Amino acid sequence: MIDVCLLGTGGVMPLPGRWLSSALIRYNGGMILIDCGEGTQIPIKIAGWGFKAIDAILFTHYHGDHIAGLPGLLLTIGNAGRVEPLTLMGPPGIRKVVEGLTVIAPELPYKLQLIELPDKEEAETHLNGLIIKSIPVDHTVTCLGYCLILKRQGKFDIERASKLNIPVWYYKQLQKGYEVKVGSQVIKPDMVLGPERRGLKICYCTDTRPTYELIDFVREADLFICEGMYVNNEEKEKAVKKKHMTFTEAAEVARKAKVKAMWLTHYSPSLTEPGKYIKEASEIFPNTEAGTDLLMKTLKFTPE
Protein backbone atom coordinates (compact mmCIF):
# COMPACT_ATOMS: atom_id res chain seq x y z
CA MET A 1 0.00 0.00 0.00
CA ILE A 2 1.26 3.47 -0.86
CA ASP A 3 -0.37 6.79 0.05
CA VAL A 4 0.22 9.66 -2.30
CA CYS A 5 -0.41 13.33 -1.63
CA LEU A 6 0.02 15.87 -4.39
CA LEU A 7 1.14 18.80 -2.26
CA GLY A 8 1.10 21.45 -4.94
CA THR A 9 0.43 21.83 -8.63
CA GLY A 10 2.05 25.09 -9.71
CA GLY A 11 5.06 25.90 -11.82
CA VAL A 12 7.41 28.93 -11.79
CA MET A 13 6.31 30.60 -8.53
CA PRO A 14 4.04 29.90 -5.56
CA LEU A 15 0.71 31.67 -5.90
CA PRO A 16 -2.03 32.63 -3.45
CA GLY A 17 -4.08 29.43 -3.49
CA ARG A 18 -1.60 27.25 -5.37
CA TRP A 19 1.52 25.64 -3.97
CA LEU A 20 4.46 24.66 -6.11
CA SER A 21 4.51 21.16 -7.62
CA SER A 22 5.61 18.41 -5.31
CA ALA A 23 4.39 15.08 -4.01
CA LEU A 24 4.63 13.24 -0.73
CA ILE A 25 4.65 9.43 -0.82
CA ARG A 26 4.07 7.38 2.33
CA TYR A 27 4.75 3.65 2.63
CA ASN A 28 5.82 1.28 5.41
CA GLY A 29 5.81 4.13 7.92
CA GLY A 30 8.34 6.18 5.99
CA MET A 31 7.88 9.06 3.55
CA ILE A 32 9.54 10.32 0.41
CA LEU A 33 9.11 13.85 -0.84
CA ILE A 34 9.59 14.69 -4.50
CA ASP A 35 10.66 18.31 -5.02
CA CYS A 36 10.43 21.10 -2.49
CA GLY A 37 9.69 24.55 -3.84
CA GLU A 38 9.16 27.62 -1.69
CA GLY A 39 6.35 27.03 0.77
CA THR A 40 6.11 23.23 0.38
CA GLN A 41 6.29 22.76 4.15
CA ILE A 42 2.86 24.42 4.49
CA PRO A 43 0.85 21.83 2.47
CA ILE A 44 2.86 19.12 4.26
CA LYS A 45 1.61 20.62 7.52
CA ILE A 46 -1.96 20.70 6.16
CA ALA A 47 -1.72 17.09 4.89
CA GLY A 48 -1.06 16.11 8.49
CA TRP A 49 1.35 13.24 7.85
CA GLY A 50 4.03 14.87 9.98
CA PHE A 51 7.57 15.88 9.14
CA LYS A 52 9.71 13.51 11.13
CA ALA A 53 9.20 10.41 8.96
CA ILE A 54 10.44 12.06 5.76
CA ASP A 55 13.35 9.76 4.91
CA ALA A 56 14.32 11.20 1.56
CA ILE A 57 13.77 14.15 -0.74
CA LEU A 58 14.18 13.55 -4.47
CA PHE A 59 14.82 16.52 -6.73
CA THR A 60 13.88 16.54 -10.38
CA HIS A 61 16.20 19.51 -10.95
CA TYR A 62 17.48 22.63 -9.28
CA HIS A 63 15.29 25.40 -10.62
CA GLY A 64 14.13 27.56 -7.73
CA ASP A 65 10.49 26.48 -7.97
CA HIS A 66 11.55 22.89 -7.25
CA ILE A 67 14.07 23.37 -4.43
CA ALA A 68 13.85 26.82 -2.78
CA GLY A 69 11.81 25.40 0.12
CA LEU A 70 14.61 23.05 1.15
CA PRO A 71 16.30 25.03 3.95
CA GLY A 72 13.00 25.90 5.65
CA LEU A 73 11.80 22.30 5.44
CA LEU A 74 15.07 20.95 6.81
CA LEU A 75 14.74 23.28 9.81
CA THR A 76 11.13 22.22 10.37
CA ILE A 77 12.05 18.51 10.13
CA GLY A 78 14.69 19.22 12.77
CA ASN A 79 12.12 20.99 14.97
CA ALA A 80 9.90 17.92 14.58
CA GLY A 81 12.55 15.85 16.35
CA ARG A 82 14.23 13.92 13.56
CA VAL A 83 17.71 12.66 14.39
CA GLU A 84 18.00 9.88 11.77
CA PRO A 85 19.89 10.76 8.59
CA LEU A 86 17.90 12.23 5.73
CA THR A 87 18.69 11.31 2.13
CA LEU A 88 18.70 13.93 -0.63
CA MET A 89 18.85 12.69 -4.21
CA GLY A 90 19.02 14.53 -7.48
CA PRO A 91 20.96 15.14 -10.66
CA PRO A 92 24.67 16.06 -10.59
CA GLY A 93 25.44 19.26 -8.71
CA ILE A 94 23.43 18.37 -5.63
CA ARG A 95 26.33 19.03 -3.24
CA LYS A 96 26.87 22.60 -4.42
CA VAL A 97 23.15 23.40 -4.29
CA VAL A 98 22.57 21.87 -0.86
CA GLU A 99 25.70 23.47 0.59
CA GLY A 100 24.55 26.83 -0.74
CA LEU A 101 20.98 26.63 0.55
CA THR A 102 21.90 25.24 3.96
CA VAL A 103 24.07 28.26 4.74
CA ILE A 104 21.00 29.38 6.73
CA ALA A 105 20.47 25.95 8.33
CA PRO A 106 23.98 25.21 9.56
CA GLU A 107 23.17 23.13 12.63
CA LEU A 108 20.62 20.46 11.82
CA PRO A 109 20.11 17.73 14.43
CA TYR A 110 20.52 15.02 11.76
CA LYS A 111 22.90 14.21 8.93
CA LEU A 112 22.22 14.76 5.26
CA GLN A 113 23.18 11.95 2.91
CA LEU A 114 23.57 13.22 -0.62
CA ILE A 115 23.16 10.89 -3.60
CA GLU A 116 24.05 12.21 -7.02
CA LEU A 117 22.07 10.39 -9.70
CA PRO A 118 23.38 10.06 -13.25
CA ASP A 119 22.24 12.53 -15.90
CA LYS A 120 22.93 10.33 -18.91
CA GLU A 121 21.26 7.02 -18.10
CA GLU A 122 18.63 5.37 -15.92
CA ALA A 123 19.56 4.50 -12.35
CA GLU A 124 18.10 2.44 -9.57
CA THR A 125 18.49 3.00 -5.83
CA HIS A 126 16.83 1.27 -2.91
CA LEU A 127 15.37 2.89 0.18
CA ASN A 128 13.58 1.06 2.97
CA GLY A 129 12.22 -1.61 0.64
CA LEU A 130 11.24 0.79 -2.11
CA ILE A 131 12.94 0.87 -5.50
CA ILE A 132 13.62 4.37 -6.77
CA LYS A 133 14.29 4.58 -10.49
CA SER A 134 15.41 7.79 -12.18
CA ILE A 135 15.68 8.74 -15.81
CA PRO A 136 17.05 11.86 -17.51
CA VAL A 137 14.27 13.76 -19.25
CA ASP A 138 14.29 16.52 -21.86
CA HIS A 139 14.31 19.98 -20.21
CA THR A 140 16.34 23.20 -20.50
CA VAL A 141 18.60 21.94 -17.72
CA THR A 142 19.44 18.43 -16.52
CA CYS A 143 16.22 17.08 -15.07
CA LEU A 144 15.13 13.64 -13.86
CA GLY A 145 11.88 11.73 -13.85
CA TYR A 146 11.21 9.26 -11.04
CA CYS A 147 9.43 5.93 -10.54
CA LEU A 148 8.89 4.49 -7.09
CA ILE A 149 8.26 0.78 -7.14
CA LEU A 150 7.00 -1.33 -4.26
CA LYS A 151 7.55 -4.98 -5.09
CA ARG A 152 5.15 -7.67 -3.95
CA GLN A 153 6.43 -11.14 -3.37
CA GLY A 154 4.59 -14.34 -4.22
CA LYS A 155 1.72 -15.74 -2.20
CA PHE A 156 2.65 -17.84 0.84
CA ASP A 157 1.79 -21.46 0.18
CA ILE A 158 0.50 -22.77 3.54
CA GLU A 159 -0.06 -26.25 2.21
CA ARG A 160 3.54 -26.52 1.06
CA ALA A 161 4.85 -25.06 4.31
CA SER A 162 2.78 -27.55 6.22
CA LYS A 163 4.13 -30.43 4.15
CA LEU A 164 7.67 -29.26 4.94
CA ASN A 165 6.75 -29.33 8.63
CA ILE A 166 7.71 -25.67 9.15
CA PRO A 167 6.49 -24.39 12.54
CA VAL A 168 3.98 -21.56 12.06
CA TRP A 169 6.12 -19.07 13.99
CA TYR A 170 8.59 -19.10 11.06
CA TYR A 171 5.94 -18.15 8.50
CA LYS A 172 6.34 -14.38 8.98
CA GLN A 173 10.11 -14.53 8.49
CA LEU A 174 9.72 -16.56 5.30
CA GLN A 175 7.02 -14.17 4.09
CA LYS A 176 9.43 -11.30 4.62
CA GLY A 177 12.06 -13.06 2.51
CA TYR A 178 14.34 -14.45 5.23
CA GLU A 179 15.47 -18.09 5.23
CA VAL A 180 14.92 -20.12 8.39
CA LYS A 181 16.46 -23.28 9.81
CA VAL A 182 14.15 -26.08 10.84
CA GLY A 183 16.16 -28.78 12.50
CA SER A 184 19.02 -29.40 10.11
CA GLN A 185 17.05 -28.22 7.10
CA VAL A 186 17.42 -24.69 5.68
CA ILE A 187 14.13 -23.41 4.29
CA LYS A 188 14.49 -20.70 1.66
CA PRO A 189 11.60 -18.29 1.00
CA ASP A 190 11.14 -19.45 -2.59
CA MET A 191 10.34 -22.94 -1.29
CA VAL A 192 7.07 -21.64 0.19
CA LEU A 193 6.34 -18.53 -1.88
CA GLY A 194 4.60 -18.47 -5.25
CA PRO A 195 5.84 -16.35 -8.17
CA GLU A 196 6.33 -12.59 -7.54
CA ARG A 197 3.03 -10.73 -7.85
CA ARG A 198 2.28 -7.36 -9.37
CA GLY A 199 3.50 -4.61 -7.07
CA LEU A 200 2.84 -0.88 -7.18
CA LYS A 201 4.47 1.71 -9.42
CA ILE A 202 4.08 5.44 -9.12
CA CYS A 203 5.81 7.84 -11.49
CA TYR A 204 6.50 11.56 -11.23
CA CYS A 205 7.69 13.55 -14.21
CA THR A 206 7.67 17.31 -14.63
CA ASP A 207 9.71 19.71 -16.70
CA THR A 208 10.19 17.68 -19.82
CA ARG A 209 9.11 17.27 -23.40
CA PRO A 210 7.49 13.89 -24.15
CA THR A 211 10.11 11.29 -25.13
CA TYR A 212 10.07 7.62 -26.14
CA GLU A 213 12.24 6.81 -23.14
CA LEU A 214 9.69 8.45 -20.85
CA ILE A 215 6.90 6.28 -22.24
CA ASP A 216 8.97 3.14 -21.57
CA PHE A 217 9.91 4.40 -18.13
CA VAL A 218 6.37 4.98 -16.87
CA ARG A 219 4.88 1.93 -18.62
CA GLU A 220 1.90 0.46 -16.77
CA ALA A 221 2.33 2.69 -13.75
CA ASP A 222 -0.51 2.59 -11.24
CA LEU A 223 -0.32 6.37 -11.02
CA PHE A 224 1.52 8.70 -13.36
CA ILE A 225 1.89 12.25 -12.06
CA CYS A 226 2.80 14.27 -15.11
CA GLU A 227 3.30 17.91 -15.96
CA GLY A 228 0.75 19.77 -18.02
CA MET A 229 2.22 23.26 -18.10
CA TYR A 230 0.03 24.32 -20.99
CA VAL A 231 -3.27 23.09 -22.36
CA ASN A 232 -3.45 22.18 -26.02
CA ASN A 233 -1.76 22.27 -29.39
CA GLU A 234 -2.31 26.02 -29.72
CA GLU A 235 0.28 26.44 -26.99
CA LYS A 236 2.58 23.73 -28.29
CA GLU A 237 5.11 26.20 -29.65
CA LYS A 238 5.59 27.64 -26.16
CA ALA A 239 5.82 24.13 -24.71
CA VAL A 240 8.47 23.14 -27.25
CA LYS A 241 10.49 26.29 -26.64
CA LYS A 242 10.37 26.10 -22.84
CA LYS A 243 10.70 22.29 -22.81
CA HIS A 244 7.39 21.56 -21.17
CA MET A 245 4.29 19.56 -22.11
CA THR A 246 0.70 20.33 -22.95
CA PHE A 247 -2.26 18.42 -21.45
CA THR A 248 -2.63 16.76 -24.86
CA GLU A 249 0.97 15.61 -24.96
CA ALA A 250 0.86 14.30 -21.40
CA ALA A 251 -2.26 12.31 -22.28
CA GLU A 252 -0.50 10.80 -25.31
CA VAL A 253 2.33 9.61 -23.06
CA ALA A 254 -0.16 8.11 -20.58
CA ARG A 255 -2.08 6.37 -23.36
CA LYS A 256 0.99 4.92 -25.04
CA ALA A 257 2.47 3.81 -21.72
CA LYS A 258 -0.82 2.17 -20.72
CA VAL A 259 -0.69 3.66 -17.21
CA LYS A 260 -3.69 3.08 -14.98
CA ALA A 261 -4.30 6.69 -14.00
CA MET A 262 -2.75 10.10 -14.59
CA TRP A 263 -2.75 13.28 -12.52
CA LEU A 264 -1.78 16.49 -14.26
CA THR A 265 0.31 19.04 -12.37
CA HIS A 266 2.87 21.87 -12.76
CA TYR A 267 0.46 24.33 -14.33
CA SER A 268 1.63 27.63 -15.76
CA PRO A 269 0.75 30.56 -13.42
CA SER A 270 -1.45 31.92 -16.23
CA LEU A 271 -3.51 28.71 -16.24
CA THR A 272 -5.86 29.66 -13.44
CA GLU A 273 -8.52 26.98 -13.91
CA PRO A 274 -6.82 23.84 -15.22
CA GLY A 275 -9.86 21.67 -14.41
CA LYS A 276 -11.82 23.50 -17.12
CA TYR A 277 -9.58 22.04 -19.81
CA ILE A 278 -9.40 18.44 -18.66
CA LYS A 279 -11.21 17.25 -21.82
CA GLU A 280 -8.11 18.10 -23.84
CA ALA A 281 -6.44 15.21 -22.04
CA SER A 282 -9.29 12.88 -21.10
CA GLU A 283 -10.39 12.51 -24.71
CA ILE A 284 -7.01 10.91 -25.36
CA PHE A 285 -6.49 9.21 -22.00
CA PRO A 286 -9.81 8.86 -20.11
CA ASN A 287 -8.45 8.23 -16.64
CA THR A 288 -6.90 11.68 -16.34
CA GLU A 289 -7.47 13.95 -13.38
CA ALA A 290 -6.48 17.61 -13.24
CA GLY A 291 -4.41 17.49 -10.07
CA THR A 292 -5.30 19.90 -7.29
CA ASP A 293 -3.29 20.88 -4.23
CA LEU A 294 -3.57 18.23 -1.50
CA LEU A 295 -5.20 15.61 -3.74
CA MET A 296 -4.65 12.26 -2.03
CA LYS A 297 -4.96 8.64 -3.08
CA THR A 298 -4.13 5.24 -1.62
CA LEU A 299 -2.70 2.73 -4.06
CA LYS A 300 -3.44 -0.86 -3.03
CA PHE A 301 -2.12 -4.15 -4.31
CA THR A 302 -4.47 -5.80 -6.83
CA PRO A 303 -6.68 -8.27 -4.96
CA GLU A 304 -6.25 -11.91 -6.04
Q: Which residues bind its own copies (CB under 8 A)?
A: 12-16, 37-39, 41-42, 45-46, 62-65, 67-69, 71-72, 75-76, 79, 96-97, 99-105
Cβ-Cβ contacts under 8 Å for 251 (sequence gap 6 or more):
262, 280, 281, 282, 283, 284, 285, 288
Instruction: Between 45 and 260, name the residue whose CB sits nearer to its own copies.
Output: 45
**Residue among 245, 240, 215, 214 at smallest CA distance from 228:** 245
Under 8 Å between Cβ of 190 and 153: no
Instruction: Between 116 and 122, name the residue whose CB sits nearer to its own copies.
Output: 116
- Rounded to a whole number of angstroms, the minimum distance from the CB of residue 99 to its own copies is 7
Rounded distance between C-alpha atoms, residue 65 and residue 17, angstroms: 16
- Rounded to a whole number of angstroms, the minimum distance from the CB of residue 112 to its own copies is 15
User: Which of helix, strand or coil describes residue 62?
Assistant: coil
- Tell me if residue 119 is catalytic: no
- Rounded to a whole number of angstroms, the minimum distance from the CB of residue 15 to its own copies is 7
Amino acid in position 169: W
Across the chain, the runs of DSSP E, i.e. the strands, are: 2-8, 22-27, 30-34, 54-58, 86-90, 112-116, 123-127, 130-136, 144-152, 180-182, 185-187, 197-205, 223-227, 262-265, 288-290, 295-299
Q: What angle do CA 222, 268, 202 make, to 5 degrees?
A: 15
**Residue among 260, 234, 257, 249 at smallest CA distance from 284:** 249
State the first-to-last Cα distance of the chain, in angstroms, to the nearest integer: 15
- Rounded to a whole number of angstroms, the minimum distance from the CB of residue 182 to its own copies is 54
Instruction: Between 107 and 273, name the residue whose CB sits nearer to its own copies.
Output: 107
Task: Find the catalytic residue in 3, 35, 55, 65.
Answer: 65
Under 8 Å between Cβ of 22 and 7: yes
- Rounded to a whole number of angstroms, the minimum distance from the CB of residue 41 to its own copies is 7
Instruction: Between 95 and 276, name the residue whose CB sits nearer to its own copies.
Output: 95
Instruction: Between 82 and 201, name the residue whose CB sits nearer to its own copies.
Output: 82
Residues classed as catalytic: 65
